[in-house]
């Protein structure tokens, strides 16, 4: 398969800002190597920056993955208080790394928060708010509808958890997806995406690509055999935290068409990667304000 693959996050980056795409996918490439140029190393460091919402969301994903692994392989459920204690340990570890700035020298090994790199340093209240969010998300995961299904599931019911998967569409586009969880229950394949932030309109586009994979993989014969759901773990009203996003064959066909066009664009820009001049800055100051690459980008300074 060709090196470049369409993915929801990849095309979103390209559409948001071509220059950011260049820094993230091209300039930062191999920037972890001692022999890399200073520009490459800097771009790599900036690419690896995280932020409080992303980092804490990643911790929730990590713990859930760990809990599901225990259920899937040993049939054992880690108690909630243990899972939460594990999350707090990860929060402390990451916070210490980031405040010490260890990631400045070893960005691939240590967490470095954008809030510590660029400032301002988050207040104690803000940190406590994110800690409580992590604990609440885990609590809601344990008490949610998916957990009820997981408790009943046997090893054969698991279709995938957090794996990078690739497939080729009929038109030839190479597509990469990473489903948080897919599980079979009551004759339906449930495709689950954990969300720790607020609902977003983009989610149906993301899930539609997952549905394409599920059909291709034979998890269901048609879209009616799928149940695609974002799960909003931080939602106040947990009775409405798992809205199903239904798809038809027409939806999948439309998505395949848009992926094909976007894939061709990704292949086109791949051929331009040695010349930053082909990747203009964007004019959205809101994007620049929080962009990890703002230190090296003239776009951020207007």
Residues near ligand SF4 (CB under 6 A)? 17, 19-20, 23, 281-282, 287-288, 291, 293-294, 297, 299-300
User: Closest approach of Cβ 280 to ligand SF4, in Å?
Assistant: 8
Q: Which is nearer to ligand SF4, 103 or 299 (CB)?
A: 299
63-72 as b/e: b if 16+ CB within 10 A: bbeebbeebb
User: Closest approach of Cβ 102 to ligand SF4, in Å?
Assistant: 25
Alpha-carbon span 52 to 14, nearest angstrom: 23
E-strand stretches of 57-179: 158-160, 163-168, 174-179
Which residue's CB atom is positioned nearest to ligand SF4? 299
Q: Which is nearer to ligand SF4, 178 or 273 (CB)?
A: 273
Alpha-carbon span 113 to 11, nearest angstrom: 24
User: Closest approach of Cβ 113 to ligand SF4, in Å?
Assistant: 18
User: Closest approach of Cβ 47 to ligand SF4, in Å?
Assistant: 11
Residue 175 phi/psi, 5-degree rounding, is: -120, 135
Q: Which is nearer to ligand SF4, 22 or 55 (CB)?
A: 22
- Tokens in use for 30? 């191999």
User: Closest approach of Cβ 208 to ligand SF4, in Å?
Assistant: 26
Q: How far are the Cα atoms of 31, 54, 101, 243, 275 from residue 117, in angstroms, in the given order?
A: 18, 15, 8, 37, 28
Q: Which is nearer to ligand SF4, 142 or 293 (CB)?
A: 293
Q: Which is nearer to ligand SF4, 163 or 283 (CB)?
A: 283
Alpha-carbon span 284 to 5, nearest angstrom: 26
Q: Which is nearer to ligand SF4, 13 or 62 (CB)?
A: 13
User: Closest approach of Cβ 103 to ligand SF4, in Å?
Assistant: 20
Q: Which is nearer to ligand SF4, 208 or 291 (CB)?
A: 291
User: Closest approach of Cβ 257 to ligand SF4, in Å?
Assistant: 28
Q: How far are the Cα atoms of 16, 21, 84, 134 from residue 46, in angstroms, in the given order?
A: 17, 13, 30, 25
Query: What DSSP state is assigned to residue 273?
Result: T
Alpha-carbon span 118 to 96, nearest angstrom: 17
Alpha-carbon span 226 to 175, nearest angstrom: 19
């Amino acid at each position: 398969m060709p090196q470049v693959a369409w993915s929801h996050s990849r095309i979103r980056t390209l559409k948001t800002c071509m220059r950011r795409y260049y820094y993230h996918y091209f300039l930062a490439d191999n920037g972890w190597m001692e022999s890399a140029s200073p520009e490459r190393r800097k771009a790599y460091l900036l690419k690896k920056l995280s932020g409080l919402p992303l980092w804490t969301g990643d911790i929730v994903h990590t713990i859930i993955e760990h809990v599901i692994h225990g259920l899937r392989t040993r049939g054992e459920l880690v108690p909630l208080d243990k899972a939460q204690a594990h999350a707090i340990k990860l929060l402390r570890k990451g916070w210490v790394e980031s405040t010490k700035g260890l990631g400045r020298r070893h960005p691939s090994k240590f967490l470095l928060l954008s809030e510590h790199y660029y400032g301002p340093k988050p207040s104690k209240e803000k940190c406590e708010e994110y800690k409580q969010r992590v604990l609440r998300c885990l609590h809601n995961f344990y008490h949610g509808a998916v957990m009820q299904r997981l408790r009943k599931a046997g090893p054969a019911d698991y279709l995938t958890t957090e794996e990078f998967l690739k497939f080729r569409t009929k038109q030839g586009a190479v597509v990469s997806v990473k489903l948080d969880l897919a599980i079979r229950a009551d004759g339906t394949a449930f495709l689950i995406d954990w969300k720790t932030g607020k609902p977003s309109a983009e989610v149906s586009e993301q899930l539609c690509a997952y549905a394409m994979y599920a059909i291709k993989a034979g998890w269901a014969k048609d879209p009616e055999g799928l149940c695609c759901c974002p799960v909003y773990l931080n939602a106040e009203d947990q009775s409405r935290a798992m809205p199903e996003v239904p798809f038809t064959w027409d939806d999948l066909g439309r998505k395949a068409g848009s992926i094909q066009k976007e894939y061709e664009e990704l292949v086109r820009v791949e051929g331009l990667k040695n010349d930053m001049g082909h990747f203009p800055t964007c004019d959205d100051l809101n994007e620049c304000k929080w962009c990890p690459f703002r230190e090296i980008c003239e776009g951020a300074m207007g």
